[in-house]
Amino acid sequence: MSSTLLEQTRSSHEEVERLERLIVQDLQTEPPSSKDRLVQGHRVRHMIESIMLTTNKLVETYEDKDGAREDEIAALGGGQAAFSAFYDRLKEIREYHKRHLSGRLVDANEDYEALLKEEPVISFSGEEGVGRYLDLHDMYNQYINSRFGERVEYSAYLDVFSRPEKIPHKLKLSRQYRKYMEALLEYLVDFFQRTEPLQDLDRILSRVETDFEEQYANGKVEGWENHSQESELISSQHTVIDLDYYTTVEELLDVGPEKLKEALGALGLKVGGTPQQRAERLFLTKHTPLEKLDKKHFAKPLHNGKQNGDVKSTQQSENAKEIALTETKVKKLCQLLDETIERTKQNIVKKQSLTYEEMEGEREGEEANAESESDDEDGDIYNPLKLPMGWDGKPIPYWLYKLHGLGQEFKCDICGDYSYWGRRAFERHFKEWRHQHGMRCLGIPNTKNFNEITSIEEAKELWKRIQERQGENKWRPELEEEYEDREGNIYNKKTYSDLQRQGLI
């Protein structure tokens, strides 16, 4: 059946409709993780490309340039050979089913629904972290080893690569810079297509080119504002001499041989010979139009210095325009990848403070978290490393876990044998309500003397020693308070009171 053109057309329409339904069904499912979102995007992108390919075939079929569709429709009309055409079709249908179906029915929906379970292969380098970060190390090496670049750290390069207008204009016209910008644009386009498969990048860049043409013509492209004016100056750097001011060839000689040569070149005349010959040749144009001059005075096209100079300046102008367009596309892509660039900067700064073991541990933790995001449909998060939960309800990064020493357990008897994880939480708990309540129950004031004391017995023993020390140094007024009589004798309070009652003082 599929051998007929009409059946192929019907089958193509059915395929397009089924793929459209699958796309809607797939996009209605919210992916649980960023990795699943990428897989879903590429899967939908693949189905869209299949629809476009099938649609192009349908357009070609309906155009019917070879007339095959029209002939097949005409054959369905019957006529004198209606019965023979009918039996031929019936025979063809039977042979098709015998050859392909073998007596069993096939559910076409199963083949299409299998597309929803496909996982496209998406390749990312280890530095890119499944599309979360950029890997610009190759571009960075080109930048620091070039004439237009500077010797900066990779983290500093991430701040400047998206701003090509900072590079001096005279260094941008080199072949090295052009290759660097083309390589940078190629990488950003490839990365964007891998991380944002549903974005129509071709349409975005086409709009950028359209806006660029208008801005470049008006001299409004950032970093290239004066280039069009410079190009005009380069192409018009030919001396034009007003012959009305000169009456003889001798007066024209005073202009100088170089200016005579440039003026002749501007008119397309020969520039060779002595200064006298140049002046005579140029003076001919005062009274004779160029169209009526003898051809022997004109330079050959291959040896025309003006034409060669114009060609060279035109090529430079075109190269500069291409470089400016590449810069504009790079800046547009950097705007689209702004969050990724910022995330890459933070990742680089964070890595600079980690050891190799910590980075490996963090990578293992991220992989475990990425796998666990889609494992449990009930919302339970798989946490094999037993990492504490962050503010977003997900395990914190492994490097943060190691930095705060959250793997260390501290128990406090005064708090009812409660466990504190990490040194920071342990030191902070001495001022929290649980520890203060435990100290009040023991009848001990919660002062700085009892910091780092977690055992009840140690706290009681320390409090007893403090009380004894306070008892030895306690103020006893009856023994230590002094009194003086009229004669200047000094007594303590007890002795003075006894003598006063006896009337001796």
Over the stretch 177-233, which tens digit does the pLDDT of each residue have? 889 999 999 999 999 988 888 888 889 988 988 888 888 887 777 777 655 544 444
- Helix, strand, coil distribution of the chain in percent, nearest 5: 65, 5, 30
CA atoms of 250 and 280, how far apart (whole Å): 9
Provide the pLDDT for residue 81.
67
352: Cβ contacts below 8 Å, ≥ 6 apart: 155
Neighbours of 430 (CB within 10 A): 19
CA atoms of 72 and 9, how far apart (whole Å): 12
Among 186, 169, 176, which Cα is nearest to 144's?
176
Mean of pLDDT values over 50-76? 84
User: Vertex 309, ends 303 and 315: CA angle to 5°?
Assistant: 125
Mean of pLDDT values over 34-44? 82
Tell me what the pLDDT averaged over the chain comes to: 79
Our measurement of the distance from residue 141's CA atom to the centroid of its chain's CA atoms, rounded to an integer in Å, reads: 19
CB 347 within 8 A of CB 133: yes
Residue 502, token pair as written in the block: 């006896």
Provide the pLDDT for residue 391.
67
Provide the pLDDT for residue 90.
81
The pTM of the full predicted model, rounded to 2 decimals, is 0.54
Q: Is the per-residue pLDDT at 124 higher than 50?
A: yes
Provide the pLDDT for residue 479.
67
Q: Is the per-residue pLDDT at 132 higher than 80?
A: yes
Among 261, 296, 293, which Cα is nearest to 275's?
261
Over the stretch 292-345, which tens digit does the pLDDT of each residue have? 777 777 776 544 444 444 544 555 667 788 888 888 999 999 989 899 899 888
What letter does residue 292 receive in the DSSP assignment? Answer: G
Among 129, 258, 229, 139, which Cα is nearest to 188's?
139
Provide the pLDDT for residue 24.
85
Where does residue 119 rank: exposed (0-12), middle (13-18), buried (19+ CB within 10 A)?
exposed
Neighbours of 292 (CB within 10 A): 7
Over the stretch 5-14, which tens digit does the pLDDT of each residue have? 888 888 889 8
Q: Which residue has the higher pLDDT, 361 or 137?
A: 137
CA distances from 447 to 159, 450, 452 (A): 51, 6, 11
Sign of CA dihedral 384, 387, 392, 393: positive
Residue 223 region by backbone torsions, left for phi larger than 0, else alpha for psi between -120 and 50, else beta: left
What confidence tier does 415 reach under pLDDT thresholds 50, 70, 90?
Answer: very high
Q: Is the per-residue pLDDT at 102 higher than 50?
A: yes
SS3 sequence of 114-165: HHHHCCCCCCCCCCCCCCCCCCCHHHHHHHHCCCCCCCCCHHHHHHHCCCHH
CB 329 within 8 A of CB 185: yes
CA atoms of 88 and 94, how far apart (whole Å): 10
Q: Is the per-residue pLDDT at 57 higher than 50?
A: yes
Mean of pLDDT values over 389-404? 78
Q: Is the per-residue pLDDT at 269 higher than 60?
A: yes
Provide the pLDDT for residue 295.
74
